[in-house]
């Protein structure tokens, strides 16, 4: 597949066929993704392929505890867990999460409720000893360390797209990081960065909606002129 086409058509897939994905294919995806850019070439990522049925079910339950909070905050018009937000409004919104969970239990459920059935579940970890997080001591939320891990996740998704597969990276399980560590025997110096779900998508999203460049790129200053193609 042409690189530009892959970059413009790799959307999040959350519904998969029941087709098994051989471990040889998963190995091939990771073998490609390992060339992702990362700080100092320290390759601070670690991946756990979760195959055991009971561990998958427990991972799903950990995931769901945050998922209904996410839905409740979204329904209240909030960006869930935004570093800059109204915490009291968050608390009020999250009070509705149990009702959402009860309603979901009476319905067929979607991606979250069936997470354990996804053909491939990869838990992506980050070795905190090997991240150059230059914003570590700033008086705000730290973000920079992810630059050495998340390009790897994106490379996994691009490699999957090239093989006719699809998937999504989700960070929901991080809310229960300590429990995920315990479930998978992960040492404390590793952060739970994401879960990557992969499979053969029932529908491959390709017509993606994104904000045009002129709305997020400016020249010379934050409030400068929009960057335009004809500039």
pLDDT at 204 (0 to 100): 83
pLDDT at 205 (0 to 100): 77
Q: What is the rounded CA–CA span in Å between residue 178 and residue 198? A: 24
pLDDT in tens, 140-195: 999 999 999 999 999 999 999 999 999 999 999 999 999 999 999 999 999 999 99
pLDDT at 231 (0 to 100): 61
Q: Give the neighbor-by-neighbor strand order of the sheet with 45-49.
A: 45-49, 120-127, 190-199, 166-170
Q: How far out from the chain centre does Cα 223 lie?
A: 30
CA distances from 154 to 29, 48, 61 (A): 11, 16, 25
pLDDT in tens, 130-154: 999 999 999 999 999 999 999 999 9
Second-level CATH architecture of 3-215: 3-Layer(aba) Sandwich (3.40)
Of the candidates 125, 126, 201, 164, which has an alpha carbon nearest to the alpha carbon of residue 25? 164
pLDDT over threshold 70, residue 230: yes
Give alpha helix (H) positions in 78-173: 87-94, 97-105, 150-162
How high is the mean pLDDT of the chain?
96
Q: What is the rounded CA–CA span in Å between residue 158 and residue 221? A: 33
The percentage of residues in the chain with a pLDDT greater than 90, rounded to a whole number, is 96
Q: What is the rounded CA–CA span in Å between residue 159 and residue 176? A: 28
Across the range 108-122, mean pLDDT stands at 97
Of the candidates 198, 159, 169, which has an alpha carbon nearest to the alpha carbon of residue 21? 198
- Where in the chain are the domains? 3-215
Element (H, E) at 120: strand 120-127
Task: Answer for the pair 204, 189: CB distance below 8 angstroms, yes or no.
Answer: no
Across the range 4-29, mean pLDDT stands at 95
**What predicted TM-score, i.e. pTM, was given to this entire model?**
0.94
The sign one gets for the Cα dihedral 129, 133, 134, 138 is negative
Of the candidates 189, 168, 153, which has an alpha carbon nearest to the alpha carbon of residue 37? 153
pLDDT at 207 (0 to 100): 85
The sign one gets for the Cα dihedral 49, 53, 58, 63 is positive
Tell me, what DSSP letter sits at residue 73?
Answer: H
Instruction: Dump the DSSP string for 149-185.
Output: THHHHHHHHHHHHHTT-EEEEE-GGGGGHHHHHHHHT
pLDDT at 17 (0 to 100): 96
pLDDT at 206 (0 to 100): 78
């Amino acid at each position: 597949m042409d690189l530009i086409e892959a970059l413009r058509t790799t959307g999040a897939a959350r519904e998969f066929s029941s087709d098994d994905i051989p471990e040889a294919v998963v190995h091939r995806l990771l073998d490609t993704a390992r060339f992702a850019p990362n700080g100092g070439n320290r390759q601070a990522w670690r991946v756990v392929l979760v195959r055991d049925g009971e561990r998958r079910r427990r991972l799903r339950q950990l995931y769901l505890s945050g998922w209904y909070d996410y839905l409740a905050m979204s329904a209240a018009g909030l960006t869930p867990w935004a570093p800059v937000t109204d915490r009291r409004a968050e608390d009020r919104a999250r009070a509705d999460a149990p009702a959402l969970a009860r309603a979901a239990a009476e319905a067929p459920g979607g991606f979250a409720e069936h997470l354990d059935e996804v053909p491939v579940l990869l838990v992506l970890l980050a070795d905190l000893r090997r991240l150059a997080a230059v914003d570590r001591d700033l008086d705000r939320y730290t973000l920079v360390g992810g630059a050495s891990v998340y390009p790897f996740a994106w490379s996994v998704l691009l490699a999957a797209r090239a093989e006719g597969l699809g998937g999504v990276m989700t960070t929901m399980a991080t809310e229960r990081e300590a429990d995920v560590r315990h479930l998978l025997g992960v040492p404390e110096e590793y952060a739970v960065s994401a879960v990557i779900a992969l499979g053969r998508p029932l529908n491959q999203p390709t017509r993606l909606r994104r904000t045009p460049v002129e709305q997020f790129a400016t020249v010379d200053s934050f409030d400068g002129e929009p960057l335009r193609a004809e500039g």
